[in-house]
Chain A
């Protein structure tokens, strides 16, 4: 079932009447696009953007400053997160890579983090956060495919930062970059599966198979 897809540009009319859609705004009762995106049926999927902290998101950050009251954490956003000392069970230092959850964001985007966990020994890459759902895939199927074939631990933060450790990290990176480039096309899961199978020389289990939440501990979406 092919859905009609149309590329939207800022200022393009998306719908008559006011609608609450991602990447859109309402003016004089009509809904317009504010960013480049795809109109897929009734949904608008932004093709580019940068991360603004949201309540309850799991993110991967880097400790950038140590203060008396806690830590400033860079989260691949114009805004950084703060981690209060009261939350901490262990001490961090500048440059530590951590995963954390966003506990609160106020109206000027001051962000508080909780549940910090230090990550070490791996590599981090940044992608556009709008592409994160694609990298995860339906029921985390895309993510599972990457993990299974590269044997890498892959943690994905909603802020577009990905932590890779072990296995063939380089291949996992390449697969992720491919997904980001082709995020707006159809048939992507099949192509990525073929790409990984070709590069590793091994077959992957059916990607459409439903996975239980919490199965296969090596691959996890953070949150």
Chain B
């Protein structure tokens, strides 16, 4: 929700510092864990500032209902849901609302781009993002988690995607808006990118920005995405490295294994 005037009710900047002490380009604390659920084929937990988001993936699997089957590629379902207890304020209502449906749709397009859907015709991939605690930037946190979950499921993708929101508060462009900045700032632009192809896969904007500000904000988004990608990469590798460490500490490593007869 944007305030129309550029004078916000809450003072959002103090010199070069934001409300929570961050610099304009600083991200909030971000922690990502891959493979947090047992039943889901792929899963991830993202704790971003106060946001707590969990994503789960099933598929490719048989299409249900049958009539939705695409003979040439996998169809992707993407669900975004905010738990009624996720807000600091009131207890919300469970069930889909229009905002959630819109976010589910634009998130789906991200995965339609990056997943090799043509390799799995006549199947369905279900991605679900559950916002357990919200504090601004939940759709970005959700898709960042979903991207890790899709990879954790072993579904082949063109890239590990991620994003950040950039916004304008009191005339200055800032990265990774918190809830208050989102509510009282002048503009909010959540975006998801692929660093490898340098493409923007999700882009939504509200508020008012000049052309130069939009250009600058895109640069800021790509820059911040690198930080997020590193965390995603660490999360995915950590699973395997932890096992290696445990194994190495049990016994000094013997000869390296060349036991694989064939691959996939």
Contacts and interface: CB of A to CB of B under 8 A. Distances in A.
Interface of A: 1-3, 7, 9-11, 22-23, 25, 27, 32, 34-36, 43-50, 52, 78-80, 108-109, 128-130, 133-134, 136-138, 141-142, 181-182, 184-191
B237 A184 contact: no
B96 interface: no
A133 B261 contact: yes
B255 A186 contact: yes
A9 B236 contact: yes
A182 B259 contact: no
A185 B254 CA distance: 10
B116 A48 contact: no
Interface of B: 41, 59-62, 71-72, 116, 119-123, 151-160, 194-196, 233, 236-237, 240-241, 243-244, 247-248, 250-251, 253-264
Contact of B240 (A7, A23, A128, A186): A7
A22 B243 CA distance: 23
A35 B257 contact: no
A105 B194 CA distance: 33
A138 B154 contact: no
B121 to A, nearest CB: 5
Given A108-B121, A133-B259, A191 B154 contact: no
A171 B123 CA distance: 35
Nearest to A2: B256
Nearest to A207: B259
B120 A186 contact: no
Given A10-B156, A25-B156, A191 B263 contact: no
Given A34-B158, A78-B120, A45 B260 contact: yes
Contact of A7 (B123, B237, B260): B237
Given A9-B236, A10-B160, A11-B160, A46 B154 contact: yes
B225 to A, nearest CB: 12
B161 to A, nearest CB: 9
Contacts of A48: 152-154
Overall SS of chain B's interface:
loop
Contacts of A50: 41, 60, 153-154
B158 to A, nearest CB: 7
Given A9-B160, A11-B160, A187-B251, A130 B264 contact: yes
B236 A78 contact: no
Contacts of A189: 257, 259
Given A11-B160, A22-B264, A182-B247, 20 more contacts: A7-B236, A9-B236, A9-B237, A22-B263, A35-B154, A35-B155, A43-B263, A45-B260, A45-B263, A52-B120, A78-B60, A78-B61, A78-B123, A108-B121, A108-B122, A137-B259, A138-B258, A186-B254, A186-B256, A187-B247
18 contacts: A9-B237, A10-B157, A32-B158, A32-B196, A34-B157, A35-B154, A35-B157, A48-B154, A49-B156, A52-B120, A79-B122, A109-B121, A133-B260, A133-B261, A186-B257, A187-B256, A189-B257, A190-B251
Contacts of B158: 10-11, 25, 27, 32, 34
B151 A133 contact: no
A11 B195 contact: yes
A78 B240 contact: no
A186 B253 CA distance: 7
A109 B237 contact: no
A133 B256 contact: no
Contact of A36 (B120, B154, B250): B154
A176 B223 CA distance: 44
